Amino acid sequence: MTNHDVIIIGGGPAGMSALIWCHSLGLRGVLLEQSPELGGQMLEMFHRVLDYPGLVAENGRELRDHFAAQLDLLQLDYRTGRKIEEVDLSQRRARSGGEWLQGRGVIIATGARKRKLGIPGEERFEIRGVSFSATRDHSLYAGKKVSVIGGGDSAVQNSLLLAGICPSVTLIHRSDKYRGRPDWLKQAQENPRITIIDNAEAKAIEGGERVERLVIEDTRTGQIKTIDTEGVFIRVGVAPNTEMLRGQIELDEAGFIKTDQRQQTSVEMVYAAGDVCRPACLSVATAVGQGAISAKDIAISLT
Ligand SMILES: Cc1cc2nc3c(=O)[nH]c(=O)nc-3n(C[C@H](O)[C@H](O)[C@H](O)COP(=O)(O)OP(=O)(O)OC[C@H]3O[C@@H](n4cnc5c(N)ncnc54)[C@H](O)[C@@H]3O)c2cc1C
């Protein structure tokens, strides 16, 4: 068993910020990241990042490099390739491999992943016509007929991006209410290359070597329809990485961690920061802010 002031689980922006702030506040923090490198979802940002105040990065990886350089400059204790497999939150313990780590406080910053539909064909055709990111993959679909599934900002934005290079984009949404920005939706409605199908649920993705068809069902009438498509982009929100916490901490109905304004969870001295606690704005800036708040509140509690 190794002892630390604060155990930070997850090396995305929330976790990295928490580690930096632990250092500033005189706490010995250790960060464990399951992937071989730090960054979390920042590594999936293939566009120019213009909304993180203070610096413009060509992509998320470049932004991540700035964060990581700061950790190195301060000689902070972070360990990559170290998944936390089990936690005992009431005792503030976490296990990675054979090693148990003991903290005086714990910050959970395990983030979120893209939600999947769980329909036939989704897994089979991944990277052969099914994509979870138009920003990353759009160039592979130039000149092709594609579909986008979802009703939030990402789905509408992906449709607009694809309409710039594809002759036909079908946006499929299971209701007729949109959660995204009205100006983007208006642009999509007015774009002659985009067809919007409301009140429709994707049921299956079909094809041979690659995707050829999408099967949808009208949610009001139950009528089944097949759309010819060469690419299916799935943008149906995110799911939190909280499976290992179930039964130990209060989660909301979708599995995100409930916190108060100081990022405290239902368990004493256990905090959560970033996408894992469903902030109103899923962003690097929010994750960084919540990481800082968590470290600050732990420091106050320990002094
Ligand atoms: C395609 C895309 C584009 C985006 N564009 C922008 C943008 O332009 N601007 C912006 O501000 N935001 C953007 N975001 C959102 C932003 O990336 C996230 O809000 C932010 O990364 C959340 O940070 P986080 O630290 O909470 O979680 P994450 O970045 O998800 O990091 C969580 C980390 O925890 C690790 N982890 C999980 N479970 C364990 C475990 N058991 N043990 C150890 N480690 C674990 C994961 O491997 C991961 O590295 C984008 C996201 C995506 C996917």
- In the reported structure, the alpha carbon of residue 198 is separated from the centroid of ligand 1 by a whole-number distance in angstroms of 30
**Which ligand 1 atom sits nearest the alpha carbon of residue 13?**
25
- In the reported structure, the alpha carbon of residue 211 is separated from the centroid of ligand 1 by a whole-number distance in angstroms of 29
Domain with CATH 3.50.50.60 in the chain: 2-114+238-302, 130-234
Residue 195: which H helix or E strand, with range?
Answer: strand 194-197
Which residue among 41, 158, 276 has the greatest number of ligand 1 atoms within 8 angstroms of its CB, and so is best to mutate? 41
- In the reported structure, the alpha carbon of residue 90 is separated from the centroid of ligand 1 by a whole-number distance in angstroms of 26
Cα 127 from Cα 161, distance rounded (Å): 19
Cα 34 from Cα 270, distance rounded (Å): 20
For residue 193, which of 136, 148, 237, 235 has the smallest C-alpha distance? 148
- Looking at the domain 2-114+238-302, which fold is it? FAD/NAD(P)-binding domain (3.50.50)
Q: Is residue 106 lining ligand 1, measured as CB closer than 6 Å?
A: no
Distances in whole angstroms, Cα of residue 23 to Cα of each of 54, 67, 70, 102, 231: 21, 14, 11, 18, 47
Strands 211-218 and 224-228: antiparallel
Q: Is residue 11 lining ligand 1, measured as CB closer than 6 Å?
A: yes
- In the reported structure, the alpha carbon of residue 266 is separated from the centroid of ligand 1 by a whole-number distance in angstroms of 23
Residue 159: which H helix or E strand, with range?
Answer: helix 153-163
Q: Which CATH class is domain 130-234?
A: alpha beta
Strands 145-149 and 168-172: parallel
Q: How many CB atoms lie within 10 A of CB 50?
A: 8
- In the reported structure, the alpha carbon of residue 287 is separated from the centroid of ligand 1 by a whole-number distance in angstroms of 8
Cα 34 from Cα 265, distance rounded (Å): 22
**Which ligand 1 atom sits nearest the alpha carbon of residue 282?**
19
Q: Is residue 161 lining ligand 1, measured as CB closer than 6 Å?
A: no
Token digits for 42?
Answer: 């920042």
**Could you tell me which residues come within 8 angstroms of residue 182 by beta carbon, excluding any fewer than 6 positions away?**
none
- In the reported structure, the alpha carbon of residue 291 is separated from the centroid of ligand 1 by a whole-number distance in angstroms of 13
Q: Is residue 282 lining ligand 1, measured as CB closer than 6 Å?
A: yes
160 contacts 188 by C-beta, under 8 angstroms: yes
Q: Is residue 137 lining ligand 1, measured as CB closer than 6 Å?
A: no
Residue entry with tokens 């079909």: 206
- At residue 65, the 3 state secondary structure works out as helix
**Could you tell me which residues come within 8 angstroms of residue 251 by beta carbon, excluding any fewer than 6 positions away?**
240, 242, 245, 257, 258
**Which ligand 1 atom sits nearest the alpha carbon of residue 50?**
8
Residue 188: which H helix or E strand, with range?
Answer: helix 182-190
Q: pLDDT tens per residue, the chain (303 residues)?
A: 889 999 999 999 999 999 999 999 999 999 999 999 999 999 988 889 999 999 999 999 999 999 999 999 999 999 999 999 999 999 999 999 889 999 999 999 999 999 999 999 999 999 899 999 888 899 999 999 999 999 998 899 999 999 999 999 999 999 998 877 899 999 999 999 999 999 999 999 999 999 999 999 999 999 999 999 999 999 998 999 999 999 999 999 999 999 999 999 999 999 999 999 998 888 999 999 999 999 999 999 998
- In the reported structure, the alpha carbon of residue 190 is separated from the centroid of ligand 1 by a whole-number distance in angstroms of 33
66 contacts 55 by C-beta, under 8 angstroms: yes
Residue entry with tokens 């759009």: 138
pTM reported for the whole predicted model: 0.87
For residue 147, which of 181, 186, 121 has the smallest C-alpha distance? 121
